[in-house]
Structure 1
Amino acid sequence: MKTKKPTLFNKYGREELEKEIQNESFKRITVSLYRYVDIKNPQIFRDELFTKWIELNVRGRIYIAHEGINAQFSVPEPNWEKFTRSLEDYDYLKDVPLKIAVEDDGKSFLKLTIKVRKKILADGMDDNSYDTSNVGKHLTASEWNKYMDDPNTIVVDVRNHYEHEIGHFKGALCAESDTFREDLPKIKEKLKGNEDKKILLYCTGGIRCEKTSAFLRHEGFQDVNQLHGGIIDYARQIDKEGLESKFIGKNFVFDERRGERISDDIISSCHQCGEPCDDHTNCEYLDCNMLFIQCSNCKEEHEGCCSEECKTIIKLPIEEQQKIRAEREKKGLMGYKKSLRPKKITKN
């Protein structure tokens, strides 16, 4: 009798997954990890992790490549010890630092997705543009605060513009990019002439700083530093040690939560009415799916849409929506791009 092989991918729809997670009687722990390490066979490693973690009811988004692993996921609290023991089964994951979410409603991820990619973090750069074994100095929250007070220090936000918009370190320089692959050349240009200055880099959990610091060191910057564990770990350290938080606003996260609050400051505004707001949403019209900031009043008025046009389309019969989609595909307009989002969306 043949042994039935486990299904190595998610086979349920969003509605079913949402209902399932709403009915869970236990808490979940949202966590992230990354490690640059030479993985000999990413596909085999991917399948082994999926088989192991699906049994533990882990849900999340994990990328694996020859260069390492980048993962964000949630683990049922009752399975936490089994999960941490599973990390020790692999040299790739032994003693890997875990960044636990600051705010967690247990619904950060609906399913488990593990993908093999060329890189764990798409940077648009040639491999010879940096060496991830030669990175900047890792700083604790206390050290970070100390260096931020130095007027000769340059603080650089390695994240995208929509992340920076709702929360950032005071006075931080931002590349104003839509994706990380645009960041490195823009950051280099903005820092031109400051190769001898102390550079402080930060991002969400640290992975983008690893590549950025390696890139800057390769480009001749002498004093490159990075926030250890990113904003997530910074928030934990300042809370534990009673330090001043120099981060204001929300920390954007790439899961169902969209953000976790670090300070009470609301530094952005609704893109439709201009009222103070830092809640991101995706347009309810799936073929648009624009990411933008929308307050609760505008969400109700516009039914979760970014414009009157999208609000009109979602009310059309499916057949009509399919025709519109076909026309958009002919014109090459399909494919969600955050850069298409205007600075402010006005009411029609």
Structure 2
Amino acid sequence: MSNQLLSRALKIVGFFALSFALAVPAANAASAKSSSKRAIVKKPHVAKSTASKKVVSTRKSVRFEASAKVARTKRPSIIQALIPAIPSFGQMAGLHSAIDPLDLKSSVALVIDQDTREVLFSKNDHAVLPIASLTKLMTGVIISGARLPMDEMITVTQDDVDTEKHSRSRLSVGATLSRGEMLHLALMSSENRAAHALGRTYPGGMATFVSLMNAKAKMLGMHDTSYAEPTGLSSRNQSSAQDLAALVNAAHGDPVLRELTTSPGYQVAVGSRTLQFNNTNRLVKNPDWDIGLQKTGYINEAGQCLVMQTKIAGRKLIMVFLDSAGKLSRLGDAERVRRWVETNPVVTDQKLKLSASDKQISG
């Protein structure tokens, strides 16, 4: 019996010894294979330290891979950048080819002395272009002049949602504010749903409101102007710098419009939240500026737009800038005009009058 047990024990030991002997080479082979892979991955790094030409090649490859990674993480922005920008009406008309002594980025500009009506500066001032949210200034003129109850509550509905440009709004459907608050947001922060709600809830409805906008334009002598809706999202809202100067002059006579358009910020309670809205024109917070009334605007077809009533070097001026090339360039144009007026306080339009047909860049 003891011999049988010993024989079995030897067989078991032999089995485990054989298994171990077979496992060790397999493990070594796997380890060698893994080491070989790691060695292959490291080859470019070895090459970088030994051959200068390969260093350049490897670095370019690394930069390319990094760029590819950025492209993958920011693909929507890259795609958007590749899509051609929609040209403005002014660009399509060639208005940007006109040059002027101040090198303005706006293709249309007009500066008028509000008291004497003297034209200090003009550039393509009769061109008729889309005016974007400058439209809201006329919306304000109609609402303020109607003497409607400013404490009447107005609710944003689906009808106020922008289906043309699909612009966003912080006023969700169902939000309820007073008419005065809606007017404040429309004029100060260019809130589209607020402006549309003001027109929609006007006595007689939107059609009546738009007809009143056009009638007021005619009454002010704005013969180049037409309105299709109260927000400015439609490119069919069009005007000229001359007409807009007349509108700014009329609107400046209304203390409500002066206050609301130059308000730096405003808070409103929407449900359980308090929302902070700010002025779309940063110049209202600039102590170097004395602004009595202003309005900004932008859609692709109109470019960046700005109108202001301001006091510079003791003179009350009306400024109009249409179809500016960049988001900040309309403010830069205003700064350029301000510096020019301060250094040339008695200059007249005989020195700086220019239209698109006077002088153009060749080609």
Q: RCO higher in 1 or 2 (8 Å CA, sep ≥ 6)? A: 2
TM-score by length of 1: 0.22
Give the TM-score taking structure 2 as reference length.
Answer: 0.22
Name the structure where helix makes up a greater proportion of residues. Answer: 2
Structure number with bigger Rg: 2
